[in-house]
């Protein structure tokens, strides 16, 4: 590839006659559905997701009814559009009964057209895995399981405030393999007082199961978490870098393609739902605290639902809707929103997808693109929007170039 800096010009297939203000989508992106389950047995000290400790039994029937009404209230925004994936996240969705999960999927099928090869993912924590329940989940249509292992070492799990141990983590993966072909293992590194050999051992144990997908995250101290107010002793930056380098090398040697910053998959095992999210596709969000993004020919809208589960149920019961925020994304914000997602993909996205998904032209951001190339953060290819290895290492700096 020519290493000279390319002065970015619009792709030949793009319509540059449009005004640079406002948007005009000629086609709508693929559509996914996200279902949020807000309860956990215990809130992890590092978790900043919308999850709430289940100190008493939750009202499953009332929540399922609220989800049904939530979906129905959203239908006028997406009439006729099929969904290509469903992701049931949390919280700990595997706390749902088999009958409850079956009812949720039945309600969705009755209201939305589904792609024939739809991907249906459910997140599970090892402490809530039961063989009979997993068998029923699979019979209901779940075809992908994501297991929040985080570590295969009991001492490290205890330092993370997890309620499962190493044996339960292994049993959860083995149980999932009886019923599902598509399995993801969530792992973390940079754990409190973790050594390089311990981080490598965790990954080696995960690789021994030969699941098709592994998600690998560095533990970070997020605001408004227990760890942010009472931080544990974490490995220093040099050791973190050594861990990352060793783990990435080990994954590559074992046939895992790094297709997103934290996602690694063997052939045909990448997560379609997350790829749609990262490539700026659309998704309906139902459930307490769920976010959504829905495109129309002339606008792109983001929504947020009421976060507290009891308040969410009450609003859905009394008012038939629980939207607490509904925002039309300004055209000047769309380049940053697009790049915030798309540049996380290791192989990037074809350049025309920028206009296809935002409705504005690349000409509008030609200065930012040229600057990113000059800094060595973006590859010099007019047909592809892709971060360089340096850009991936300093991804925040690259993405910030596209702020309004």
- The CATH number of whichever domain residue 93 belongs to comes to 3.20.20.70
Q: Number of folded domains in the chain?
A: 2
- Predicted local confidence at residue 57, as pLDDT: 77
Place of tokens 């970070």: 220
Q: What is the tens place of the pLDDT at every residue in 66-122?
A: 999 999 999 999 999 999 999 999 999 999 999 999 999 999 999 999 999 999 999
C-alpha–C-alpha distance, residues 290 and 388, integer Å: 33
Query: Does one domain contain both 101 and 186?
Result: yes
Determine, yes or no, domain membership for 366: yes
Indicate whether 315 belongs to any domain. Answer: no
Does a structural domain hold residue 295? no
d(CA 338, CA 354): 7
- Identify the pLDDT of residue 18: 35
- Residue 148 CA, chain-centre distance (Å), reads 14
In a domain, 271, yes or no: yes
Question: How far is residue 149's CA from residue 164's CA, in Å, rounded to a whole number?
Answer: 9
Residue 79's beta-bridge partner residues? none
Residue 368, domain CATH: 1.10.10.920
Domain termination site, one of 239, 255, 278: 278
In a domain, 308, yes or no: no
Tell me the residue range of the domain where 53 lies. 31-278
Residue 185 zone, left/alpha/beta (φ > 0; ψ -120 to 50; rest): beta
Query: Cis peptide leading into 194, omega within 30 of 0?
Result: no
The answer on 170 and 66 residing in a single domain is: yes
Low-confidence ranges of the chain (pLDDT < 50): 1-21
Instruction: Tell me: do 113 and 188 sit in the same domain.
Output: yes
- The reported pLDDT for the residue numbered 93 is 95
Residue 13 lies in a domain: no
- Residue 14 lies inside a defined structural domain of this protein: no
- Do 195 and 82 have their domain in common? yes
C-alpha 28 chain-centroid distance: 20
Given its phi and psi angles, is residue 63 left (phi above 0), alpha (psi -120 to 50 degrees) or beta? alpha
């Amino acid at each position: 590839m020519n290493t000279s800096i390319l002065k970015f010009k619009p792709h030949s297939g793009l319509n540059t006659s449009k005004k640079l203000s406002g948007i005009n989508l000629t086609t709508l992106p693929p559509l996914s559905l996200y279902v949020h389950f807000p309860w956990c047995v215990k809130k992890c000290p590092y978790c900043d997701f919308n999850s709430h400790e289940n100190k008493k039994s939750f009202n499953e029937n009332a929540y399922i009814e609220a989800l049904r009404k939530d979906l129905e209230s959203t239908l006028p925004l997406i009439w006729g559009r099929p969904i290509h994936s469903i992701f049931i996240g949390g919280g700990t969705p595997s706390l749902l009964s088999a009958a409850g999960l079956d009812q949720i999927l039945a309600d969705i099928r009755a209201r939305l057209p589904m792609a024939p090869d739809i991907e249906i993912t459910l997140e599970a924590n090892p402490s809530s895995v039961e063989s009979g329940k997993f068998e029923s989940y699979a019979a209901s249509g779940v075809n992908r399981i994501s297991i929040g292992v985080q570590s295969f070492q009991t001492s490290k799990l205890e330092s993370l405030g997890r309620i499962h141990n190493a044996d339960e983590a292994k049993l959860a993966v083995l149980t999932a393999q009886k019923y599902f072909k598509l399995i993801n293992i969530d792992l973390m590194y940079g754990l409190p007082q973790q050594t390089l050999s311990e981080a490598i051992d965790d990954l080696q144990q995960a690789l021994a199961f030969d699941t098709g997908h592994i998600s690998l995250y560095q533990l970070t101290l997020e605001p408004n978490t227990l760890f942010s107010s009472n931080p544990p002793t974490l490995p220093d930056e040099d050791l973190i870098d050594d861990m990352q380098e060793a783990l990435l090398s080990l994954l590559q040697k074992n046939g895992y393609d790094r297709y997103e910053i934290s996602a690694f998959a063997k052939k045909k095992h990448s997560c379609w739902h997350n790829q749609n999210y990262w490539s700026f596709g659309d998704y309906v969000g139902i459930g307490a605290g769920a976010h959504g993004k829905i495109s129309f020919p002339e606008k792109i809208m983001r929504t947020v639902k009421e976060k507290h589960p009891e308040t969410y149920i009450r609003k859905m019961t009394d008012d038939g809707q629980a939207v607490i925020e509904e925002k039309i994304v300004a055209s000047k914000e769309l380049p940053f929103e697009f790049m915030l997602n798309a540049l996380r993909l290791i192989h990037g996205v074809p350049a025309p997808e920028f206009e296809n998904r935002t409705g504005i032209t690349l000409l509008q951001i030609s200065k930012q693109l040229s600057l990113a190339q000059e800094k060595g953060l973006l590859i010099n290819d007019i047909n592809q929007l892709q971060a360089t290895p340096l850009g991936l290492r300093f991804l925040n700096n690259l993405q910030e170039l596209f702020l309004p």
